Amino acid sequence: MARETKEQREMRNAEATRAALLQVEEYRKSVPKRIMDATALAQLLGVATNITLTSTGPSVHFEYGHWDREGTWPVVIDDTLTYETEEWELEMVEERLQRLHEHNLARETRLRLAKDAFLKLTEAERAAVKEFSYQLG
């Protein structure tokens, strides 16, 4: 196998640099929509958002952290996104919002299940469950 010449190595490095720059450019083009999507999902989930306009574009601060009934924090969010945000930061906020969304969906499913089970009880059984529900768990 022939060794790579200096010109071939420079050409390969230049091509790799161009590819990396194109990838960064594609990411930068996607940032405004992804920030708006994250803001919309956050508002749907009850995550506090504060949008301020800076010289380089909007700055969106996300803040969330509420105790669950189980005494845990399902997700803590305290992040700010701008058009200059690194890709990993944006992905982290998107992932946290998605995790909170999944947590809320699972909670709604469990509530529906509990309501269905409760409706199947007799009146006396319902009264007993209501009276001692705090001791059942």
Question: Tell me: the pLDDT tens digits for 80-135?
Answer: 999 999 999 999 999 999 999 998 999 899 999 999 999 999 999 999 988 998 88
| Encoded tokens for 11 | 């050409």
pLDDT in tens, 39-85: 999 999 999 999 999 998 999 999 998 776 666 667 789 999 999 99
Determine the pLDDT at residue 66.
77
135 sits in which H/E element:
helix 123-136
User: In this model, does residue 31 exceed pLDDT 70?
Assistant: yes
Cα 111 to Cα 90: distance, rounded to the nearest angstrom: 32
Determine the pLDDT at residue 17.
92
Cα 28 to Cα 122: distance, rounded to the nearest angstrom: 60
Question: What's 69's DSSP letter?
Answer: T
Count how many Cα atoms sit within 13 Å of the Cα of residue 126 in the half-sphere of its side chain. Answer: 10
Query: In 3-state terms, what secondary structure has residue 97?
Result: helix
Residue boundaries of the structural domains of the chain: 34-136
User: In this model, does residue 137 exceed pLDDT 80?
Assistant: no
Q: Enumerate residues 6+ apart whose C-beta is below 8 A from 79.
A: 61, 62, 89, 92, 93, 96
Per-residue pLDDT, averaged over 9-19, amounts to 90
Determine the pLDDT at residue 1.
63
